[in-house]
Amino acid sequence: METITITRAERLKQKPDPDTLEFGKVFTDHMFLMNYEAGRGWHDPRIVPYGPLMLDPSAMVLHYAQEVFEGLKAYRRPDGQIQLFRPEENGKRMINSCERMCIPPVSVENFVEAVKAIVREEKDWVPSAPDTSLYIRPFIIATEPCLGVHAALRYIFCIICSPVGAYYASGIDPVRIFVENEDVRAVRGGTGFTKCGGNYAASIRASERAEEKGFTQVLWLDGVERKYIEEVGSMNVLFKLDDKVVTPMLSGSVLPGITRRSCIELLESWDIPVEERLISAQELFDAADTGHLEEAWGSGTAAVISPIGEMDWNGRKALLNQGKTGPLTQRLYDTLTGIQWGKIPDPFGWTEIVT
């Protein structure tokens, strides 16, 4: 990548109180930008003051949603240094998303370099209160002004950062989830395995309805038979069934979460077998009735691990671990967050200090 130029903001913002932060509402002083033009490639990497982007109203992203994004965090270690968690995995996943959406990819090396550059610039924004972090949102949008449907000839790669408070104000708290029978999030052959805005646009209705009924999240079923479990809200989902853990296989409509992969690698290192396979709602609810479904949790960068206390499928209920956080769920949460915040050793080499 060319040298990243830096234009600093004239006045810096007041840092917010980490206790009252809502997710993704406050942004730092600067952002990273890079442009793409067919024939020229990615060029002009730069850090500039955070602010609105100038877009032509006919910019293709606004009409046909040619867009991909990523999400990762920078963590403040007890020794004051700042670290990232498996950023290369985000870079690789963004390349896969780009490939599906016909967007010219940014190399893993350049992706990580850009993330590190903006984090370095915004280092004072990485909070140090317990469980707080700086959320990093890289994204690419099609900016070519054109209403014809084709792969755009111009793009912007942008990275913005937002300080986030503790996800759980008072310890991790199990959520109630609703098995969605009507809307589907993704289908095989579609874009479910990518991180793209379109997947989210299509998911909002089900979330709104579930919320109205008093549930926190939707449990998505597969788009073909509406029989197999896929994800929970915007997280992957894992279940403890007797002495093993099962999680939906990456069939094309499930997002390959980095937290999911890290859970699997941790569980295997603890000699707990993990099966990646099809899991029907029927199997799960039957296992819950007979006491074999011991724990369930969602996994994702934002919440890390989100225990599931109760599930509802067409009025059929399953209560998990009496609605409390299970011991394996807690152990995963403690280990993952311990490694991410640098409070315990990282034997996997997952963390990278930003110098």
Ligand X SMILES: *Cc1c(COP(=O)(O)O)cnc(C)c1O
207 binds ligand X (CB under 6 A): no
34 binds ligand X (CB under 6 A): no
Whether the CB-CB separation of 310 and 176 falls below 8 Å is answered with yes
172-196 exposure pattern, b = at least 16 Cβ within 10 A, e = fewer: bebbbbbbbeebbbbeeebbbbbbb
236 binds ligand X (CB under 6 A): yes
Question: Least distance from C-beta 303 to ligand X, angstroms?
Answer: 9
Choose between 33 and 235: whose C-beta lies nearer to ligand X.
235
Question: Least distance from C-beta 85 to ligand X, angstroms?
Answer: 10
Type of residue at 277: R
Choose between 87 and 257: whose C-beta lies nearer to ligand X.
257
Kindly give the interhelix angle for 258-269 and 87-100, rounded to the nearest 10 degrees. Answer: 130
Q: Which of 143, 191, 234, 306 binds ligand X (CB under 6 A)?
A: 234
Choose between 46 and 92: whose C-beta lies nearer to ligand X.
92
Q: How many CB atoms lie within 10 A of CB 74?
A: 26
Question: Least distance from C-beta 260 to ligand X, angstroms?
Answer: 6
227 vs 279: CA distance, rounded Å: 8
- Binding mask 55-94 toward ligand X (x if CB under 6 A, else -) reads ----------------x-----------------------
235 binds ligand X (CB under 6 A): yes
Whether the CB-CB separation of 159 and 142 falls below 8 Å is answered with no
Q: Is 36 helix (H, G, I), strand (E, B) or coil?
A: strand
Question: Interface residues for ligand X in 241-260 (CB under 6 A)?
Answer: 255, 257-260
195 binds ligand X (CB under 6 A): yes
Choose between 29 and 180: whose C-beta lies nearer to ligand X.
180
Choose between 92 and 292: whose C-beta lies nearer to ligand X.
92
Task: Give the torsion sign (CA, 55, 60, 63, 65).
Answer: negative
Choose between 70 and 283: whose C-beta lies nearer to ligand X.
70
Question: Least distance from C-beta 58 to ligand X, angstroms?
Answer: 28
Count of positions on this chain that bind ligand X (CB under 6 A): 14
248 vs 237: CA distance, rounded Å: 7
Choose between 67 and 231: whose C-beta lies nearer to ligand X.
231
Task: Give the torsion sign (CA, 240, 176, 161, 77).
Answer: negative
In the block, tokens 């999680």 appear at 247
The one segment of 11-19, 151-159, 169-177, 232-240 that binds ligand X by CB under 6 A: 232-240
Provide the CA 341 distance to its chain's centre, in angstroms: 17
Q: Which of 191, 301, 306, 351 binds ligand X (CB under 6 A)?
A: 301
Whether the CB-CB separation of 237 and 246 falls below 8 Å is answered with no
Residues that bind ligand X (CB under 6 A): 71, 195, 231, 234-236, 255, 257-260, 299-301
